[in-house]
Structure 1
Amino acid sequence: MSANTKKLAERLSAILVDLHSGQRLSAHGLAEKYGVSLKTIKRDLGQRLDNLPWLETGPQFYRLDTQKMQHTNLETLTRFCRFAAIKELFPPIDQAFLDNLLKDHILVKGLKYENIQGLKQQFLQLEQAIDSYHMVYFDYCKINEKQAKPYTIAPYGLVNKNGIWYVIGLDQGKEKTYNFKQISNVEILSTTFECDQNLKEKLRHSDSLYHGNQIQQITLQVNHNIAPYFRRQAQFPNQDILETLPNGDLIIQCRDINPVEVLPMVKYWLPHITIISPRSLQQDIKDMLNQYLQAS
């Protein structure tokens, strides 16, 4: 399942939880909150969530008949939103189909999330700091390190990638990515920062996670034997297909990406992928293989 589909499922889940609690939601407010267009929000509410028992269906405000959903729990809501995000995979639905879906007869796999239930307050603090452009302090313990270190950053986003939450921000002007569950002792500071709108847009539209130390572009050649996988769905962040060669091979390019997001996937698809540029990365792959062969 693509990163965009996962983001959609997460947005629908959050909206539906608010609706289920009885809130009357503004379409304009939702568009601003989630950083999407008004047209996208109206498509969410009017098409993806059209099977819900609505009391009010816009064009400005939306509200559910919560009496008809009083026996619906959070797990069912989550299942519904996962379905709504990929409903194009299914035939046109009627109420009987929807009832079967919510009774767990139809399974949609691939959306797996780490459990952050015990970190709700910390999550809300970071969200509040991002919304109000306040600096935050926290302790951060890197993997394989026993001692946490203090950080003070300008937070720009909470991003979920493959079910894992990350905090992205500026540390002394440098773009950094932090694993949310490795953060502790969050404190919102009184100091504010001026929001870099270019960075905010970059976060919104980029599939890359490792912000900072990125390469402007990486070009690869994909063998025709595995090309269908890359046509069907992007295998790399920010992937574009530049050319299909006469023999069926693909030339693809990844923009604004960290090598950490590319090399493991290249190793996975060996020997069917070659890094064209930068050549230093292709050499890195060769060095890794040589080290592996020598060790064995």
Structure 2
Amino acid sequence: MKKHDYDKILFRLTSIWQRLREGEILSVKDLAKEYNVSTKTIQRDFNERLASKLPIEKSGHKWKVKEGHSIDKNLSFEEDLVLDILKELSLSMGNTFSSSTNKLFSKIQNRHETPIFSKIEIEDISNKTEIIKDIQESIKNKTQIQFQYKNKYRFIEPYKITTFDGYWYLYGNDILTNRLKTFYIKDIESLNSTDKTYKENPNAIEKLKLAINVWFEPNEDLFQIRLLVKKEISKYFVRRPLNSSQIITKKYNDESIEILLDITSENEILFELKKWQPHLLVIEPKSLAKKILIINREFLDNQLELLI
């Protein structure tokens, strides 16, 4: 990203705020040129967003801190910690994104060695910045978009940009099939926004909130499953439920638990069963228990072939 591509409201306001704290007297015209926006936009920043929260005043076409007032330069411990966490998370999103966020954070925080370390891996989609911005704008305005995806041209009502297991997806309604779908953002090409508006489907957002992973099926009805979580891993399911519908229905003396939750797809939970085996077991439905048994038998056969 180039310096003057930072036309996002958050970056602009934060930068202006920091410079006012340092005692600068800021020109509306100069700021408009620097951030590549109109003077009306900068005037709106001051009049509607900053002046109501900060002791600043207008002097001609410039803005400054009011006489006799000062703006505290120190962040609270909690604010500083939140920024440290966000900064560390940005490192896992690729060099370009990390470099951009560090420039922003350096304008807010004093430079120091962060005590936070994150091992969350999120793919770098900095080469899709323009597409992301267009999708964000369309979601905000609830307007349809068009794009090329896996050799097909798609017409979509975009609902959310989301991540599953560190990969970025667009979630929305395919207008031609009237079905909810996820689209891997790195495979989206030649995106165009339209002026055709849509009404968001509240049920679609609720299905997304319940999703455990990208294998969820938003067009299918929810169904319940009951799992036995052995003592070796039960604490992890207590700390962080698989989804918001999870409830613990039984606790055993050895610290194993039974959980009940709603899902949309067998593939959605099969992914988790494989990840946690042999300590996560299916009680109900029996059809799902049989399916994971077949998968495990196939795994054992393949593994034995390698050992012989």
TM-score (norm 1): 0.62
Q: Quick one: which of 252, 260, 265 aligns to 2:259?
A: 252
Q: Which has the larger radius of gyration?
A: 2
Give 2:243's aligned amino acid. Answer: P
After superposition, the Cα gap between the structure-2 partners of 1:240 and 1:177, relative to the gap in structure 1 and judged at 3 Å, is farther
1:157–1:267 Cα change, 3 Å: same
* CA drift at 1:242: 2.6
Matches within 5 A, 1:91-240: 103-141=112-150, 148-171=151-174, 172-203=177-208, 205-208=209-212, 209=214, 210-214=216-220, 215-234=222-241, 236-238=242-244, 239-240=246-247
* Structure 1 position 21, deviation (Å): 3.0
Structure 1 spans left out of the alignment, 5+ residues: 1-13, 25-56, 70-75, 85-97, 142-147
Identity of aligned residues (%): 24
Partners of 1:221 and 1:119 lie apart in 2 by: 42
Equivalent residue pairs, number: 223
Over 3 Å counting, the alpha-carbon distance change for 1:247 and 1:77 in structure 2 is closer
Amino acid corresponding to residue 249 of structure 1 in structure 2: S
The worse-fitting range, judged by mean Cα deviation, of 121-130 and 160-169 is: 160-169
Matched, 1:20 2:25: no
| Contact 2:147–2:155 (8 Å) recurs in 1 | yes
Q: 1:126-169 CA deviation, whole Å, 9 max, x = no partner?
A: 1111122222111223xxxxxx3222121111113343221111
> Would the aligned equivalents of 1:22 and 1:63 in 2 still touch at CA under 8 Å?
no
Question: Is the 1:19–1:63 contact (alpha carbons within 8 Å) kept by the matching residues of 2?
Answer: no
Distance 1:267 1:196 in 2: 32
Q: Which amino acid aligns with 1:109?
A: S
1:167–1:179 contact (8 Å) kept in structure 2: yes
Alpha-carbon distance between aligned partners in 2 of 1:244 and 1:170, rounded to the nearest angstrom: 41
Separation in structure 1 between the aligned mates of residue 251 and residue 114 of structure 2, nearest angstrom: 41
**What is the alpha-carbon distance in structure 2 between the residues aligned to residue 127 and residue 177 of structure 1?**
15
Partner residue in 2 for 1:271: 278
User: Which amino acid is the alignment partner of residue 203 of structure 2?
Assistant: N
Note the alpha carbon deviations across 1:65-99, whole angstroms, 9 max, x for none: 99969xxxxxx996453579xxxxxxxxxxxxx86
SS of the equivalent of 1:22 reads: helix
> Compared with structure 1, are the counterparts of its residues 216 and 18 closer, same or farther at alpha carbon in structure 2 (3 Å cutoff)?
farther
Normalised to the residue count of structure 2, the TM-score between the two structures is 0.60
Distance 1:220 1:276 in 2: 5
Instruction: Name structure 2 gaps, 5 residues minimum.
Output: 1-7, 19-48, 57-64, 66-70, 75-80, 90-108
Q: Distance in 1 between matches of 2:159 and 2:53?
A: 28
Q: For 2:165 and 2:12, locate their aligned partners in 1 and report how far apart those are by CA, in whole Å.
A: 24
Q: Which residue identity lines up with residue 235 of structure 2 in the other structure?
A: P
Question: Whose RCO is larger (CA < 8 A, sep 6+)?
Answer: 1
Structure 1 counterpart SS, 2:122: coil
Deviation digits for residues 16-35 of structure 1 (CA, Å, limit 9, x no counterpart): 635423279xxxxxxxxxxx
Structure 1 residues 220 and 168: CA distance shift in structure 2, 3 A: same
Using the alignment, how far apart are the partners of 2:202 and 2:125 within structure 1? 29
Cα distance in 1 between the residues matched to 2:17 and 2:199: 32
Q: Structure 2 CA distance, aligned partners of 1:152 and 1:63?
A: 48
**2:86 aligned residue:** 81
